[in-house]
Structures are given as structure tokens and as C-alpha cells.
Amino acid sequence: MSNNKSKPFQNTQSKRLPSETKGTRLLQVFMEFRDANGARQVGRVQLDTQSNGCYSLPGISLPRPWRPWEPRVVRGIGADLLPLGDPLYFTVLKDGVPIQIDSNAPTPGVLNDGCVALLGLDVIYNLGIDMGHAIKHEKHLPVRFLPGQEELVENHQKEAYAEYTSKVSTYRPSSPAKFASRYSKCASATKMFSPATLIRYHQP
């Protein structure tokens, strides 16, 4: 990879990157991640609040299966539909804890300028990345997380369960078989929409 990782969280180039220059700035931060071999590394990650997906380089990611509800195409800037790359896991480290994120191999041009990954809006929010801190500084800095975000994913999951179990409780089936079928669908929907399907916390 083109990122220099000999000095973590620092841009060792003498000149500022185009993404750090007024007029061509882009939101990027340095993040620790775990590569496909389990080694800890540091790389620059794009923060894209207009994206609803994530991308990571295949060389530093792990393969994963397609989710049943995942689209196979994405709409580009020119409104053209482009095929999504292979499904991957990108593992970031938040306070030393590995967090596995669903991502895809990047479409052409998505990851350039030496970046290793792009995080979309939902993952930025669920990780608790401090966007204000990243916006405030022109130079790319180490990622900063908002305080009190540790239980965010768990709370969202509880809300999802409450929503779908309430639908089950108000449903009046005509037979036990129909009730079992409806309950199974609600349970599947809970897993589908829970943020835990996007971000998974693992013990080191």
C-alpha cells in the first residue's frame, strides 16, 4: 500500500496532500485497523457522509458472504448503475477493540490518494466518529471518537427488537403455523435492519 506506516498517525510527506489543501479538501482520518493477516496497521480512511456503503482494499480485508438483502449495484455520481465489488470485512480498532465492518471491494476511482477504506454515513455514526474534529483541521489527523458511544449499537439493536416484537404481539394469527411463520419473518427482519449486521464488536 502507498500509505507510509512507519510513523503511525502522521503524514510523513513534506508537501500537503491535495485532500489537505484548500479548494480540494476531502475528509480523511488516520485509523488503526487489522489486516487480513491479523497485523495491526495504520492507514488513511475517507469519511463520506453521502455514501450509504463502505469500501476497503481487498488486500487488507477478509472475504464475507453476500447478505440476502444487499444490493448488487450502486448508483454512481453520473447516475449510472455500477456493480458492487466483492463483499468484504474491514476490521477497524476502536480503543484497541477490533470492530468488523461490512464493506465491498471498491469500484474504480473510489479509493485513491493512498486511502485504504471509505466509511459511509451509517458506520461513521455508529462508530461515533467526531466529524467536527475532522472538519476543523485541514491536515489529516488521527480519528477522534465522541464520548459515550460504546452502547450505541446495542441500543439500536434493542430498538429494532422492540419494534418488530411489538408487531408480533399485536398480530392475531388464525393458526399456530401462521404465527410461527410471522414470528420467523419478524426475527429475520430484526437481524436485517439492526446495525449489528453492519458493525460487529469482537473481543481481542
Tell me: the pLDDT tens digits for 84-125?
Answer: 999 999 999 999 999 999 999 998 778 877 899 999 999 999
Tell me the HSE value of 59 on the side-chain side, using a 13 A CA sphere: 7
Better pLDDT: 89 or 201:
89
Tell me the HSE value of 78 on the side-chain side, using a 13 A CA sphere: 3
- In 3-71, DSSP assigns E strands to 28-34, 40-47, 55-56, 62-63
Tell me: the pLDDT tens digits for 49-83?
Answer: 988 889 999 999 999 999 998 888 877 666 778 88
Assigned CATH for 18-136: 2.40.70.10
Mean pLDDT of the chain: 77
Q: In this model, does residue 193 exceed pLDDT 50?
A: no
**Percent over 70 (pLDDT), the chain:** 64
Radius of gyration of the chain (CA): 19
What φ, ψ does residue 42 adopt, rounded to 5°? -130, 135
For residues 141 and 9, the answer to whether their CB atoms sit within 8 Å is: yes
Better pLDDT: 151 or 4:
151
Q: Where are the domains of the chain?
A: 18-136, 152-201
Better pLDDT: 9 or 98:
98
* pLDDT for res 179: 47
**Cα first-last separation, the chain:** 25
Tell me the HSE value of 32 on the side-chain side, using a 13 A CA sphere: 14
Q: In this model, does residue 185 exceed pLDDT 50?
A: no
* pLDDT for res 39: 96
Q: Which residues does residue 199 pair with via DSSP β-bridges, in sequence order?
A: 101
For residues 56 and 117, the answer to whether their CB atoms sit within 8 Å is: yes
Of the candidates 123, 173, 112, 163, the residue with the CA atom closest to the CA atom of residue 145 = 123
Cα dihedral 39, 55, 58, 157 in deg (nearest 10): 60
Cell reading at 19: 485532500
